[in-house]
């Protein structure tokens, strides 16, 4: 459904952030991108949804294809119309709008009748948001805001949703609930999901396929099952150590050199 | 007798206050949706009035046609301004945009008289001059009409802004450009809409204020009056603008009625700014503005 073909992203014409990324998100599947801070995960998602331009970034090489059609030069409001929507890192609700107004804004591109149907559907998935619909979104709890942000994304009838670290800063119980809902959306609404996470355990639990990103490149990919069993993943992301303790950076560089750079 | 005087001052002050609100709402509209502070809003009002009065007196246009020309002029002018001057400045420091609007204000002050002549022009929108007397109360008809137009515009605009889907989108844009873009909202189109509305409301302001005080470059000073109004009401709240306008109108009228006779006049002109400074000292968001929501 979505294919990133060796893309390169440059900010301000000089800062090379993505150095040839190839990723595929299969229709109806959950695909995850793992990686530490600054790896380029968010940049990858923004490249797909057309949000680089406002930050003076550009896809300078490679292509992004969605259902066989190139979308790398589209602006965000065009990609939304094609059925791709991004749920931002750190939630980013419209703070001064009520929860319901946030949802209405999320359904901006659909007809009023369709918007009302979608509103019902979102409230079914997120009864908590329904209870808080009259409240200014800025005053919702972190978990409620994340649910609102996801619900808002669903309002535009997306086929592909890009989640950027939905677990960020939330309590374990809430995270579990949210990941459960992502899985349900994937199954019940046949939603294709591209999930960026630092929490590898959670992500690999619901995903079918995963990529590991470091420093603007993909360093590892495979089925979720294979990645769960991978020694590096275990050590760096799942926190299961198989030997003496070293600092995160040291281990990472040592391992990386050993495994991928010779 | 004393109470009657107070009552009459208050009513007239409140009417003037509603007319201030009509000017201030244009300012708030731009601030809310684009984050830009438009120092030229007073000049918009002036130039709209100059165009209408100029078409009517210099070229003999009937009132309706003159207003139509004024409307088209304001829409085209503000669209061009947004497209060619302000949009390229998006993302630059806000001070650059502020400077641009100050420059624009001065250009308009110079250019208006250049085209239509510098003298004060009358603007007659068909409101009689004789005072309106209801019981013991004296009112100026144009103030009543101005306040009514202001209330009507604010009601329609308030509905649009708070209840309609486009209004929600407009407020979403005001809240976060980036997130709005991600929702498929064409942010630039909403910027343009905000400037069009600011042009339309400036025309309404120009009509009522032009009829009340005559049309010349002095009208631009109304833009300065608007600062205490929006500071009092909060730069981002529409209800606040109405209340801010009413308070300033009231304070001015009371100062003129009770203080001026003792000091020989003039307090009316600066009391609004004294109030503004006091509010800034104690309520930095204005009396009704929303605080920035901070939650971590
Ligand atoms: N607008 C920008 N201009 C310049 N450099 C940028 C810009 N946005 C991101 N970068 C750089 O690109 C790199 C990758 O950033 P990105 O936000 O994609 O990382 P990430 O994997 O999402 O990290 P995190 O887990 O912290 O969110 C970082 O080094 C960052 O400094
Ligand atoms: Mg990120």
Q: Can you give the residue ranges of every domain in chain B? A: 8-128+143-282
Average pLDDT value over all residues in chain B? 87
Would you say residue A231 has pLDDT above 80?
no
pLDDT level of residue A262 (50, 70, 90 thresholds): very low
Q: What's the average model confidence in pLDDT over B199-227?
A: 90
What is the distance between the alpha carbons of residues B63 and B66, in angstroms, rounded to a whole number? 5
Centroid of ligand 1 to alpha carbon of A223 (angstroms): 26
Q: Greater confidence, B88 or B182?
A: B182
Least confident of A233-237, B14-18, B138-142, B280-284: A233-237
For residue range A7-41, what is the model confidence (pLDDT) as tens digits? 999 999 999 999 999 999 999 999 999 998 899 99
Question: By C-alpha distance, which of A33, A41, A34 is closest to A17?
Answer: A41
A91 in B contact zone (CB under 8 Å): no
Is the Cβ pair B176, A86 closer than 8 Å? no
Would you say residue B211 has pLDDT above 80?
yes
Would you say residue A109 has pLDDT above 70?
yes
Is the shortest distance between the CB of A247 and ligand 1 below 6 Å?
no
CATH 1.10.3470 for domain B8-128+143-282, yes or no, is yes
How far lies B129's CA from each of A92, B9, B12, B60, B211, in Å?
Answer: 55, 19, 15, 22, 10
Block residue for tokens 């009316």: B268
Would you say residue B287 has pLDDT above 50?
yes
pLDDT level of residue B295 (50, 70, 90 thresholds): very low
Residues of A in contact with B183 (CB under 8 A): 80, 85, 105-106, 108-109, 152, 156
How far is the first Cα of chain A from the last one, in angstroms, to the nearest whole number?
A: 34
- What's the half-sphere exposure (Cβ side, CA atoms, 13 Å) at B157? 25
pLDDT level of residue B88 (50, 70, 90 thresholds): confident
Give contacts of A 152-171 with B, CB under 8 A.
152, 156
Would you say residue B293 has pLDDT above 60?
no
Instruction: Let me know the angle formed at the C-alpha of B91 by B85 and B95, rounded to the nearest 5 degrees.
Output: 70
Q: What is the pLDDT of residue B129?
A: 81
Q: What is the pLDDT of residue A257?
A: 41
Beta bridge partners of A87: A163
Q: What is the pLDDT of residue A256?
A: 44
Q: What is the pLDDT of residue B233?
A: 81
B164 in A contact zone (CB under 8 Å): no
B291 in A contact zone (CB under 8 Å): no
Percent of chain A with pLDDT over 70: 88
Q: What's the average model confidence in pLDDT over B92-120?
A: 85
Which residues have C-beta within 8 Å of that of residue B59, sequence separation ≥ 6?
none
DSSP-derived pairing of the beta strands A57-66 and A69-70? antiparallel
Element (H, E) at B151: helix B141-163
B172 in A contact zone (CB under 8 Å): yes
How far lies B232's CA from each of A79, B42, B256, in Å?
Answer: 42, 18, 20
Is the shortest distance between the CB of A229 and ligand 1 below 6 Å?
no
DSSP-derived pairing of the beta strands A160-164 and A192-197? parallel
Which residues have C-beta within 8 Å of that of residue A5, sequence separation ≥ 6?
A22, A62, A63, A64, A65
Question: By C-alpha distance, which of B209, B224, B222, B225 is closest to B49?
Answer: B209
Q: What is the pLDDT of residue A261?
A: 38
Is the shortest distance between the CB of A199 and ligand 1 below 6 Å?
no
pLDDT level of residue A246 (50, 70, 90 thresholds): very low
DSSP-derived pairing of the beta strands A2-11 and A57-66? antiparallel
Comparing alpha-carbon positions, the chain B residue that sits nearest to A116 is B165
For residue range A117-175, what is the model confidence (pLDDT) as tens digits? 999 999 999 999 999 999 999 999 999 999 999 999 999 999 999 999 999 989 999 99
pLDDT level of residue B80 (50, 70, 90 thresholds): very high
Q: Greater confidence, B289 or A112?
A: A112
Q: What is the pLDDT of residue B96?
A: 86
For residue range A189-222, what is the model confidence (pLDDT) as tens digits? 999 999 999 888 899 999 999 999 999 999 999 9
Would you say residue A237 has pLDDT above 50?
yes
- Could you tell which of A18, A37, A39 is best to mutate to test the pocket of ligand 1, judged by most ligand atoms within 8 Å of the CB? A39
Percent helix, strand, coil in chain B (nearest 5)? 75, 5, 20
Give all domains of chain A, ordered by start, each with its CATH number: 2-83+158-261 (3.40.50.300), 93-157 (no CATH)
Q: What's the average model confidence in pLDDT over B127-133?
A: 83
Would you say residue B292 has pLDDT above 80?
no
Beta bridge partners of A5: A63
Would you say residue A83 has pLDDT above 80?
yes
Is the Cβ pair B165, A80 closer than 8 Å? no
* Angle of helix B141-163 versus helix B187-213 axis, rounded to 10: 170
Closest approach atom of ligand 1 to CA A43: 18
How far lies A13's CA from each of A60, A71, A185, in Å?
Answer: 9, 20, 38
Question: By C-alpha distance, which of A145, A155, A144, A138 is closest to A104?
Answer: A155
Q: Greater confidence, B207 or B233?
A: B207
Q: Measured between CA atoms, how close is B204 to chain A, in angstroms? A: 29
* Angle of helix B2-34 versus helix B41-59 axis, rounded to 10: 100
A109 in B contact zone (CB under 8 Å): yes
Comparing alpha-carbon positions, the chain A residue that sits nearest to B188 is A77
Would you say residue B62 has pLDDT above 70?
yes
Residues of B in contact with A156 (CB under 8 A): 183-184
Strand residue runs (E) in A44-151: 57-66, 69-70, 84-87
């Amino acid at each position: 459904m979505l294919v990133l073909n060796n893309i390169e992203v440059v900010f301000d014409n000089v800062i090379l952030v993505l150095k040839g990324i190839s990723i595929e998100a299969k229709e109806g599947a959950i695909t995850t991108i793992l990686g530490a801070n600054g790896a380029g995960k968010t940049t990858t998602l923004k490249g797909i949804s057309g949000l680089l331009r406002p930050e003076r970034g550009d896809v300078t090489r490679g292509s992004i294809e969605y259902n066989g059609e190139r979308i790398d030069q589209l602006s965000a409001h065009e990609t939304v119309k094609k059925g791709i929507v991004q749920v931002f890192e750190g939630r980013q609700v419209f703070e001064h709008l009520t929860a319901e107004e946030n949802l209405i804004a999320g359904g901006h591109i659909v007809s009023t009748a369709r918007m009302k149907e979608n509103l019902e559907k979102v409230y079914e998935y997120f009864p908590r948001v329904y209870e808080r619909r009259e409240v200014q979104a800025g005053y919702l709890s972190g978990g409620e805001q994340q649910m609102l942000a996801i619900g808002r994304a669903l309002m535009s009838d997306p086929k592909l949703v890009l989640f950027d670290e939905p677990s960020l800063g939330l309590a374990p119980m809430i995270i579990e609930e949210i990941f459960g809902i992502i899985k349900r959306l994937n199954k019940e609404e046949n939603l294709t999901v591209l999930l960026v996470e630092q929490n590898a355990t959670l992500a690999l639990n619901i995903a079918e396929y995963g990529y590991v990103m470091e420093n603007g490149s993909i360093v590892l990919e495979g089925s979720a099952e294979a990645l769960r069993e991978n020694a590096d993943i275990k050590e760096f992301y799942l926190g299961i150590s198989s030997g003496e303790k070293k600092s995160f950076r040291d281990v990472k560089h040592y391992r990386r050199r050993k495994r991928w750079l010779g | 007798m004393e109470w009657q005087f107070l009552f009459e001052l208050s009513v007239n002050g409140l009417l003037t206050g509603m007319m201030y609100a009509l000017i201030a709402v244009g300012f708030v509209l731009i601030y809310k949706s684009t984050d830009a502070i438009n120092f030229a809003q007073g000049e918009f009002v002036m130039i709209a009035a100059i165009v209408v009065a100029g078409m009517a007196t210099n070229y003999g246009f009937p009132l309706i046609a003159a207003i139509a020309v004024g409307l088209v002029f304001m829409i085209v002018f503000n669209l061009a301004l947004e497209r060619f001057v302000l949009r390229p400045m998006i993302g630059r420091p806000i001070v650059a945009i502020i400077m641009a609007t100050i420059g624009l204000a001065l250009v308009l002050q110079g250019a208006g008289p250049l085209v239509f002549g510098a003298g004060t022009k009358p603007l007659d929108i068909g409101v009689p001059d004789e005072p309106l007397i209801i019981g013991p109360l004296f009112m100026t008809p144009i103030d009543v009409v101005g306040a009514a137009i202001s209330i009507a515009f604010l009601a329609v605009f308030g509905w649009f802004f708070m209840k309609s889907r486009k209004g929600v989108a407009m407020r979403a844009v005001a809240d976060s450009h980036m997130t709005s873009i991600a929702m498929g909202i064409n942010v630039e189109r909403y910027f343009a809409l905000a400037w069009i509305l600011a042009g339309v409301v400036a025309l309404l302001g120009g009509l009522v204020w032009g009829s009340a005080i005559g049309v010349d470059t002095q009208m631009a000073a109304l833009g300065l009056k608007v600062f205490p109004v929006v500071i009092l009401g909060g730069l981002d709240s529409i209800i606040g603008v109405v209340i801010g306008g009413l308070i300033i109108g009231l304070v001015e009228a009371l100062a003129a009625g009770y203080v001026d006779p003792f000091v020989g006049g003039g307090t009316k002109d600066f009391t609004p700014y004294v109030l503004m400074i006091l509010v800034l000292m104690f309520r930095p968001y204005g009396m009704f503005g929303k605080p920035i929501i901070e939650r971590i």
